[in-house]
Amino acid sequence: MTCRIGAAERRWRWAGGALHVVHWGEETALFHEPSASTHLLDTDSSLVVTCLQAASGPTDTAQLWRLAFGDEPQDGDCQALDESLEALSRIGLVTAEES
């Protein structure tokens, strides 16, 4: 595994609330009730959100990669996933906590 584990590694979780999902090919429309916002996500981002909803607790990036994509993260995968998670955090769908 190539994800760096640091002392202040973030652990991600679903932000909570009802989420209504409609799939259109490779895009997914999400209506998040708590924020009364609609978002259009690609397939991978939608999968990440779904995995965080199903997770029993906060999840680190490497663990989330394995849950979502079924294999070990390769070079750059964790960084790319962290960037996606940051974007999902800015729109209120996921939250991060330092471990």
Q: Cβ distance 40 to 47 under 8 Å?
A: no
CA distance 44 to 46: 5
**In 3D, which of 56, 51, 57 has the Cα closest to residue 85?**
51
Predicted confidence at residue 47, as pLDDT, reads 93
With a threshold of 0.85, does the pTM exceed it?
yes
Predicted confidence at residue 5, as pLDDT, reads 55
Residue type at 20 in one-letter notation: H
Give me the residues paired with residue 27 across strands. Answer: 24, 42
Mean pLDDT of each 10-residue bin along the chain, 99 residues long: 60 94 91 93 94 94 95 92 95 90
As given in the structure block, the two tokens for residue 60 are: 């680190």
Predicted confidence at residue 24, as pLDDT, reads 86
Predicted confidence at residue 71, as pLDDT, reads 94
CATH code for 10-98? 3.90.930
Running DSSP on this structure, what letter comes out for residue 49?
Answer: H
Predicted confidence at residue 7, as pLDDT, reads 43
